[in-house]
Amino acid sequence: MNIARPDRNFWKGKRVLVTGQTGFKGSWLTLWLHRLGAQVFGIGILPDTNPSLFELAGIRELCESHFCDIRNKEALLKLIGKIQPELVFHLAAQPLVRHSYLEPVETYSTNVMGTVHLLEALRGVTCLKAAVMVTTDKVYSNNEWQWPYREDDTLGGHDPYSASKAASELVINSYRNSFLDQQGVAVASARAGNVIGGGDWSADRLIPDAVRSWQIGEVLEVRRPEAVRPWQHVLEPLAGYLILAEKLWVNPELAGAYNFGPSKDEVVTVKDVIELARKVYSRGTVHYKENMIGPHEAGLLVLETSKVRHILGVESSLILSQAIEITMEWYRSQTDGFDARKLCENDISFYEALH
């Protein structure tokens, strides 16, 4: 089977902006773009985890890095006017559901108004050709049903994070139709499922929580073991974002919303993921809580991904057990002293060689 891969010839020399480059996905994307030969510019806040992949892998050495909060409209306008990107990947966000209950205003101001500020800054950038705006699989009005959500299903969101991302989808669509289409800029939103991979140390995420607990011999507390999510290795959606940007450059009429996720039979429960991870990691104790503790979180969420398969040629290359094995091996090797950037490069090389 011939699955699409990012085209090195396309990316060589392109001026590419990555917002949120100090985060987990932003660091992986910056590294991959650098390997592809792009001239990468990054905008982000200081890393909010310790350790952070951005620092451990020396990501700032691979790009022109700027520390700026996207809620600061004037600073963002000035920076983008200076950078003059040809392509943009917008990943900057407040990305955590449970944190959004604690800090709803921060969540809405970052995810909604931050997106507004970026899109406003992109107006009038004459060299800009395409922008991929990364949102989430949680933008849909979730009815907890078994059918996968399609790109034209109703948007919604119970928690502040999901609602803020659904609202940002409306902002993206409005700016595309009102301004950027006429400017010749193709704008797409990318809705990806739960990602795993080496170098994520965020709070309240399943694999990072497991690694932290098991490294120091503590019991991992799992609050919703039966919750179902579309798990995938971080390189799967990142490959999709890169290919989407390539397609938008050539065919701007492809602008719109796209789901990125695993095949339907790879959608499993939290407990399934943890048991696979524990098997690879070779140690670790888990306590599965029986009662739903804490604020509301979706119990069942599945994405329909036929659009990216048919239009972009993007399809999952890793089955879930492979994704988990690669992820846990990364953490185990990094703990044993291996270089974080080299571990990422090895994973990218392995992924690029598949199929």
Instruction: Say how far apart CA 105 and CA 101 lie, in whole Å.
Output: 9
Task: Give pLDDT, residue 268.
Answer: 87
Task: Give pLDDT, residue 223.
Answer: 86
Instruction: Say how far apart CA 38 and CA 328 lie, in whole Å.
Output: 29
The model's pLDDT over 125-151, given as tens digits with 9 standing for 90+, comes to 999 999 999 999 999 998 877 789 999
For the chain, give the mean pLDDT: 94
Q: Is pLDDT of 297 > 90?
A: no
Backbone φ and ψ for 42, nearest 5 degrees, come out as -120, 145
Instruction: Say how far apart CA 32 and CA 144 lie, in whole Å.
Output: 35
The model's pLDDT over 202-241, given as tens digits with 9 standing for 90+, comes to 988 999 999 999 999 999 999 889 988 889 999 999 999 9
Closest to 238 in 3D by CA, of 347, 128, 86: 347
Omega before 225 cis (within 30°)? no
DSSP bridge partners of 228: 269, 300
Instruction: Say how far apart CA 185 and CA 80 lie, in whole Å.
Output: 15
The single-letter code of the amino acid at 162 is S
Residue 353 pLDDT level (bands cut at 50, 70, 90)? very high
> 3-state DSSP: the chain helix, strand, coil percent, rounded to 5?
45, 15, 35
Q: For 4-11, what is the mean pLDDT?
A: 95
Domain ranges of the chain: 14-353
CA distances from 185 to 74, 120, 181, 209 (A): 22, 13, 5, 40
Residue 355 pLDDT level (bands cut at 50, 70, 90)? low
Residue 294 pLDDT level (bands cut at 50, 70, 90)? low
Residue 291 pLDDT level (bands cut at 50, 70, 90)? low
The helix (run of H) or strand (run of E) holding residue 329 is helix 320-335
Instruction: Give the residue carrying structure tokens 């919604």.
Output: 156
Say which residue, 188 or 147, is predicted with more confidence.
188
Give percent above pLDDT 70 in the chain. Answer: 97
Query: CB burial class (10 A; 0-12, 13-18, 19+) of residue 343?
Result: buried
61 C-beta neighbours (distance < 10 Å), count:
9
The model's pLDDT over 101-126, given as tens digits with 9 standing for 90+, comes to 999 999 999 999 999 999 999 998 99
Task: Give pLDDT, residue 290.
Answer: 78
Question: Is the domain covering 14-353 a CATH 3.40.50.720 domain?
Answer: yes
The helix (run of H) or strand (run of E) holding residue 53 is helix 53-56
Give the tokens for residue 2. 């011939």
Concatenated DSSP letters of 208-240: HHHHHHHHTTPEEEES-TT-EE--EETHHHHHH
Instruction: Say how far apart CA 15 and CA 36 lie, in whole Å.
Output: 12
Instruction: Say how far apart CA 24 and CA 39 lie, in whole Å.
Output: 20
Task: Give pLDDT, residue 1.
Answer: 46
Q: Decide: pTM greater than 0.75.
A: yes
For residue 205, the SS3 value is coil
